[in-house]
């Protein structure tokens, strides 16, 4: 008997829009000519609330703000760099400065579109959105996380980014495990805290046994809400272990690592380390898994990193 | 026309030592007529759900909007008196988080129309009959988002959306192939061209619009004069963002008296 193929995040997005849209007549979805077909059930169940606006992302964002001004709850969906980087000023001025709430749902997380190159990569989105006061960022890497986090936040009057990765961690969570703004302690440990995000929860879990054979007892904290960050859980863990390693598909500047370091910098005898995307564009054409391996965002990379950089 | 409001605009800029006087003079006659004659509004209830919306997308012309908002009771003379001063609510661009009656915080050109498209669509989804007016500059029409929004509004048939273009010739200084009526018609909009300083022509254009939540959006291209009303301010010279000195202030006020 084989394990069923997990539902894709993008399919869960479509399913959640359908379910929430049926309950809430104020939910409106704008897309930039992606996910058109999988959103047809929503379009048919919620007539007049689905618009494939085309390839004009800044206008999609401004329109979303206008919908919010008119008393509706907008969802804007397309590929990450076009929705976040190209449309940043619209997000800043039309949503955030004016105090309007909305939901940015992106695909093409970090370097998911591995061979499409820099135009379709987006590994600075958290830094950009975090630079805007009052915003929220989630990174759900399993279907139940997206469904739960969306329902918990989409009407709270704040601009929220949902970064949907193509790859999942395959850890089983249930709805009651998921609380917006709260990280999840997946494993207790004693002398090393691994703060991990997205699909790399799997790497941390897979590396744990070998790390234990090396004398490490890692505590694994999984973060699905990048902002607001669960600083309480992270700080409590690092106060116990005094060593923290962050794994993220994001550039260093403005990423999760920065926020974790800010959270624990004054913990006595604390050692900090980080695996992510260094200050360079990714130029190579290669599959997602090889991008991860090259960046040490993998089981083996994590073990190598601990061996090299984490001193006993 | 509207000499009293023009005097207030000059007084605010002179006292506040900031502002775009010619840009405000270019649009004051349009905005005053809209608030006096066209918009369904309630100054005592700026957020009234059945109101019509006016968005000044070329936010740097906001002195014209401020004096009209004061004239119709949204804000006070005291607010005008502290333009661009600490503690005041009026800055060099309109701010909807501070100013009653301002629907959008604008200033970065090319945002207001796309935002208005969203409002127009949202109100139509909600079954409301509000009208949404947006005033854009002709220079602002260099922004790509203007044409994104024009294309979307036509395809969504937002008949509750009305654009006024302040066609004062700013754009043609840089890009002389400036046939705005042809461009808007090509984007499928009901297009009118009027004298933007003629109450008769403006009213006739506004009155001719038949409200229809689902139909062609309308653009009124208003031929205007930047700095209209004071010859020394007219045109595209140094006065775009210049504040008059004491002598010039007296000359301008004399011209408007």
A1 inside domain: no
Q: Is the same domain home to A159 and A217?
A: no
Q: Report the distance separating Cα B21 and Cα A184, nearest Å.
A: 57
**CATH code for the part of the protein at B3-255:** 3.40.50.970
In the structure, what pLDDT confidence band is assigned to residue B249 with cuts at 50, 70 and 90? very high
Report the CATH number that the domain containing residue A80 is assigned in CATH: 3.40.50.970
Domain boundary among A163, A190, A214: A163
ipTM above 0.85, yes or no: yes
In the structure, what pLDDT confidence band is assigned to residue B209 with cuts at 50, 70 and 90? very high
Q: Where are the domains of chain B?
A: 3-255
Domain boundary among A163, A196, A221: A163
A-chain residues near B111 (CB < 8 A): 62, 89-90, 93-94
A47, closest residue in chain B (CA to CA): B125
Q: Is the same domain home to A143 and A209?
A: no
Q: Report the distance separating Cα A290 and Cα A298, nearest Å.
A: 9
A105 inside domain: yes
A132 inside domain: yes
Domain range for residue A305?
Answer: 181-309
Q: How many residues are listed for chain B in this entry?
A: 257
Q: Is the same domain home to A105 and A142?
A: yes
Count of the separate structural domains present in chain A: 2
Looking at the partner chain, which of B105, B115, B120 has a beta carbon nearest the beta carbon of A62? B115
Would you call A47 exposed, middle or buried from its count of C-beta atoms within 10 A (0-12, 13-18, 19+)?
exposed
A170 inside domain: no
pLDDT at A3: 56
A154 inside domain: yes
In the structure, what pLDDT confidence band is assigned to residue B236 with cuts at 50, 70 and 90? confident
Looking at the partner chain, which of B114, B117, B125 has a beta carbon nearest the beta carbon of A49? B125
Q: Is the same domain home to A28 and A144?
A: yes
Note the maximum CA span of chain B: 55
Q: Is the same domain home to A55 and A15?
A: yes
B154, closest residue in chain A (CA to CA): A53
Q: Is the same domain home to A158 and A198?
A: no
In the structure, what pLDDT confidence band is assigned to residue A1 with cuts at 50, 70 and 90? very low
pLDDT at A6: 85
Could B145 and A51 be called an inter-chain contact, meaning their C-beta atoms sit closer than 8 Å?
Answer: no
Could A93 and B111 be called an inter-chain contact, meaning their C-beta atoms sit closer than 8 Å?
Answer: yes
pLDDT at A234: 98
Would you call A283 exposed, middle or buried from its count of C-beta atoms within 10 A (0-12, 13-18, 19+)?
exposed
Domain boundary among A100, A131, A163: A163
A92 inside domain: yes
Q: Report the distance separating Cα A267 and Cα A259, nearest Å.
A: 14
pLDDT tens digits, one per residue of A27-68: 999 999 999 999 999 999 999 999 999 999 999 999 999 999
pLDDT tens digits, one per residue of A213-256: 999 999 999 999 999 999 999 999 999 999 999 999 999 999 99
A56 inside domain: yes
Torsion sign over Cα A41, A42, A45, A47: negative
CA distances (Å), origin B218, targets A45, B61, B212? 31, 22, 11
Could B119 and A70 be called an inter-chain contact, meaning their C-beta atoms sit closer than 8 Å?
Answer: yes
């Amino acid at each position: 008997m084989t394990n069923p193929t997990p539902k894709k995040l993008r399919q869960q997005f479509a399913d959640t829009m359908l379910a929430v849209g049926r309950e809430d007549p104020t939910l409106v979805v704008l897309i930039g000519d992606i996910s058109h077909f999988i959103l047809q059930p929503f379009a048919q169940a919620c007539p007049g609330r689905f618009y494939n606006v085309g390839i004009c992302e800044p206008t999609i964002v401004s329109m979303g703000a206008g919908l919010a001004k008119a008393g509706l709850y907008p969802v804007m969906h397309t590929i990450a760099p076009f929705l976040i980087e190209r449309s940043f000023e619209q997000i800043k001025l039309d949503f955030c400065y004016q105090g309007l709430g909305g939901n940015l749902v992106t695909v093409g997380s970090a370097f998911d579109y591995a061979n499409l190159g820099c135009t379709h990569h987006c590994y600075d989105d958290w830094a950009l959105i975090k630079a805007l006061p009052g915003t929220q960022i989630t990174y759900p890497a399993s279907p139940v996380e997206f469904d739960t986090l969306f329902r918990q936040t989409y009407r709270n009057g704040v601009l929220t980014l949902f970064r949907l990765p193509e790859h999942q961690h395959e850890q089983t969570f249930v709805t009651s495990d998921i609380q917006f703004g709260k990280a999840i302690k997946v494993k207790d440990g004693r002398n090393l805290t691994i703060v991990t995000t997205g699909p790399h929860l799997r790497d941390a879990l897979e590396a744990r046994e070998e790390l234990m054979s090396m004398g490490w007892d890692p505590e694994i904290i999984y973060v699905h809400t990048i902002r607001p960050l669960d600083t309480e859980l992270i700080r409590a863990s690092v106060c116990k272990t005094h060593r923290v390693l962050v794994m993220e598909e994001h550039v260093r500047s403005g990423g999760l690592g920065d926020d974790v370091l800010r959270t624990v910098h004054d913990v006595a005898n604390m050692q900090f380390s980080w695996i992510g995307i260094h200050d360079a564009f990714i130029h190579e054409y290669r599959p997602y898994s090889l991008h991860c391996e090259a960046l040490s965002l993998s089981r083996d990379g994590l073990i190598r990193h601990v061996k090299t950089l984490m001193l006993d | 026309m509207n000499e009293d409001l023009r005097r207030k605009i000059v007084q605010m800029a002179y006292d506040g030592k900031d502002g775009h006087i010619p840009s405000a003079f270019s649009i004051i006659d349009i905005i005053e007529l809209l608030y006096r004659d066209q918009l369904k509004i309630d100054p005592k209830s700026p957020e009234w759900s059945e109101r019509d919306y006016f968005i000044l997308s070329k936010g740097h012309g906001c002195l014209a909007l401020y004096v009209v908002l004061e004239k119709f009771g949204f804000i006070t003379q005291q607010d005008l008196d502290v333009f661009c001063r600490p503690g005041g609510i009026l800055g060099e661009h309109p701010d909807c988080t501070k100013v009653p009656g301002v629907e959008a915080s604008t200033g970065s050109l090319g945002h207001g129309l796309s935002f208005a498209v969203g409002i127009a669509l949202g109100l139509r989804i909600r079954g409301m009959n509000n009208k949404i007016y947006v005033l854009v500059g002709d220079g602002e029409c260099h922004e790509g988002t203007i044409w994104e929004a024009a294309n979307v509004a036509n395809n969504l048939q937002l008949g509750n959306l009305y654009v006024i273009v302040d066609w004062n010739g700013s754009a043609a200084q840089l890009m002389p192939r400036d046939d705005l009526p042809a461009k808007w018609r090509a984007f499928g909009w009901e297009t009118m061209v009027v004298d933007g300083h003629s109450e008769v022509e403006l009213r006739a254009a506004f009155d001719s619009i038949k409200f229809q939540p689902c139909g062609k959006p309308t653009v009124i291209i208003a031929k205007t004069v930047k700095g209209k009303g004071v010859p020394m301010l007219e045109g595209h010279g140094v006065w775009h963002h210049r504040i008059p000195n004491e002598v010039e202030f007296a000359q301008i006020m004399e011209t408007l008296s």
